[in-house]
């Protein structure tokens, strides 16, 4: 059980990052490979201003880092383990969604 405030804060930051679909797309894109903001904006089909706001959130959450490359900046996951964590989390959520053991799931729209 999580009891340390620091542990809870870490999970809350991760949850905040995953709370927005665009940030989820960014994390998944960066899981594949580091990228420059212009490439990420094109890939996601959003403006660079909007992308910048989401990247700032992910940086503040400690999940991505900006790496200077000459006069440009490249973004990447702050730690390779985050890519594995995203894969594990996705797999767990899919497994739970497919295992509808709650007898009232259809009726209540839960689980």
Please give the pLDDT value at position 103: 65
pTM to 2 decimal places: 0.80
| pLDDT tens for each residue of 41-76 | 999 999 999 999 999 999 999 999 999 999 999 999
CA 10 from chain centre, in angstroms, equals: 13
CA-closest candidate to residue 63, choices 46, 40, 86, 44: 86
Mean pLDDT of the chain: 89
> Is residue 1 predicted with pLDDT exceeding 60?
no
Specify the higher pLDDT residue, 99 or 26: 26
Bridge partners of residue 68, in order along the sequence: 73
| Mean local confidence (pLDDT), 65-94 | 93
Query: Environment class of residue 75 by beta-carbon count within 10 Å: exposed (0-12), middle (13-18) or buried (19+)?
Result: buried
Helix (H) or strand (E) holding 64, with range, is strand 64-69
Q: Do residues 57 and 16 touch, judged by C-beta distance below 8 A?
A: yes
């Amino acid at each position: 059980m999580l009891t340390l405030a620091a542990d809870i804060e870490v999970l809350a930051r991760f949850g905040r990052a995953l709370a927005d679909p665009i940030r989820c797309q960014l994390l998944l894109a960066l899981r594949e490979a580091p990228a420059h903001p212009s490439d990420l904006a094109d890939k996601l089909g959003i403006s660079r201003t909007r992308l910048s706001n989401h990247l700032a959130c992910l940086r503040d959450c400690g999940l991505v880092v900006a790496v200077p490359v000459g006069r440009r900046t490249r973004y990447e996951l702050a730690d390779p383990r985050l890519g594995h964590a995203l894969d594990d989390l996705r797999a767990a959520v899919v497994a739970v969604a497919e295992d509808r053991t709650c007898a009232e799931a259809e009726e209540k729209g839960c689980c």
